[in-house]
Amino acid sequence: MTFPELKSKMRIFEDLYYIFLPKEGHLVWRYSTWNNVEILDIEAYKKRQGIGSKLIKRLVSDLDKNPPNNILGFTKEVNEDAQAFYKALGFELSSVIKLLYRRGGVVFISPYKKLRDL
């Protein structure tokens, strides 16, 4: 492999993408290894109004052109609201990582195809 070929291969991991709904919320994501997508930041500016679900649905819709295998979400281990949010959407707890964040973190995963049915 040449260096330009390596740079070309890495390009997909360098870009960040976002969905921004003014006055509602935002979602930041990127492509990851093995054709997965990682949600890096998701925030509904007003809680419990369906905005988080709306952002996930929009992400899934935007990914229709280049569908990933899975979508992963990360949150702090102490953030029970975020964990409940992911579970309510059908994400499954993948792992608890004690060294992720200061007090540990959790990773949720859902097959892309499963989220298409939201």
* Domain CATH for 49: 3.40.630.30
Number of domains in the chain: 1
Q: What are phi and psi of 57, to 5 degrees?
A: -60, -40
3-class SS at 79?
coil
Tell me the per-residue pLDDT of 31-56, one tens digit each, with 9 for 90 and over.
999 999 999 999 999 999 999 999 99
Give the domain extent around 106.
3-115
Instruction: Give the per-residue pLDDT at 101.
Output: 78
Instruction: Give the per-residue pLDDT at 118.
Output: 82
Residue 60 has pLDDT above 90, yes or no: yes
**Distance from the first to the final alpha carbon of the chain:** 41
Neighbours of 76 (CB within 10 A): 15
Local confidence band at 103 (pLDDT 50, 70, 90 cut-offs): confident
Mean pLDDT confidence for 55-71? 96
Give the residue carrying structure tokens 């899975």.
Answer: 70
3-class SS at 83?
helix
State the chain's mean pLDDT as an integer: 93
